[in-house]
Structure 1
Amino acid sequence: TLLPRSLVGLNELGLMKPEELAPLAYEARIAAKGYARSRCDATGRIAAVLFEEYRSLRDYGRLGAGGSMTWEQVWNKYEAQIVAEECSDELDSLGAATTATTARPKSNKRMLDQEELTSRIYLRILERSCATNQAFDDMFLSGKNGEDSDLAEIASKLDNGVREILLRPQENARAIKITQQMDKQREKAEEKRQKQLERWKKKLAKRRKESQSQTVLVERKEVPELLESSSTAWSDPQRVYVLRIMAGTRRYFRRLLEDTPSR
């Protein structure tokens, strides 16, 4: 999906339109699937075939209709999705307005015209060309040391190659300049976030230290008071005298019970 991502980047930079990029992304995705399957081992191929047959049975009600979807099938799929989303949003807004007032609600939302619908379908095809199946990614694309950096380098080279092929020299220079500006903005934002995080960590450590010091001071203050109060209580002559009487009375009754013969 590196090539479709590069095409999405061209759309985000405003250098090419979705209707120009969507067919290229569709063809690139089909080619990528074929290449990945040819490079995969037997287990991966069997799993891919089984998944396609399951999807064929789910979507078309029969086996053998799997494989890559045609352009018309992809177009109809995303057209139905977008129309369903619009209808769902419209029904939700009407339902909310109905509960808020008893009068018949009037929706101010403008329905999609054909031109806007077509543009959104192209954009949806372009965006979904970059999507992958997470289950298959976890199963067959487990990360290894150094692979992330290699993948980033490959993606960068591919972006440059795609721009050189699809853009004129002036547009390519403009795209490089915009990309560099965006990278600098991301670096500044990340640096700012790291500084803010460090400040929060320092404040948290300072508060923890203050809390611990206050706890130690309280303990140092309470322990002498407890020792002093306990020593004062036990040094009271009346208290000691009463405790001695109680102890003597308890010993007297214990001996009395021991001397009494059991019946």
Structure 2
Amino acid sequence: MSALAQRRARERGMTLIEVSIALGIAAVLFAAVTISIGAITGAKAKASAAQLAGVIRSLYDTSALSGKTCRLVFELADPKDEQGVSRYHAECAAGNVTTSRDRDDMLREESRAREDDKRGNKRTDTRRKYSGGSDDMPGLDEILKQEESRVEDAARFSSFTSEEFKPRELPSDVTLSVWTRHQREPADKGVAYLYFFPQGFTEKALVYVKQGDNVWTLAVSPLTGKVDIAGEALEVPKS
């Protein structure tokens, strides 16, 4: 090979190397731009919010149809932990766990029954329900103990294994915070719960899905289970 041919071959090789380097740099820059655009628009947070809304609605329907109390369990990553990842999964109890309102109504009814019994107005139906037909009405402490035992037995939650409710993990740059009606402020770390009752209602709740400066709020309706998604951080209702 002549000196001229060798020089041309070396020039051709250098050109190919340079092209490969340029393509590599372009690929890195494109990836960086794509990630930056995603962070700016909150695309991951928006997609996560839509997916979570579907799970909430499905769990509401499942609880109503199965007659079981269910809950969504949120494992919230601490916002200060850059390596933390938020997760959530669905669980259902072995049976129908009534609300505290239902239990209070039952206890008030029993107290009225005992007062009526003292006045001679025997409530035989209530008596049979709690004493198996005996004429002796149980005391309030006994009723409370029976109710606590019943709720504990029914309240053993177990996780779903179906594909629809499989545990989900959010992207590392997406965080969650959860507010329900008994809280003053949204919980942004630790464990939070959203309950669904077989009577056909859930807790009033706001779930915030955040990525960078972008926030999507899931507003859960307690009577219908409907989830409205707002592209902003909605204010927690005043108690």
In the superposition, the TM-score normalised over structure 1's length comes to 0.20
Structure whose residues are more often helix by fraction: 1
**Larger Rg computed on CA atoms:** 1
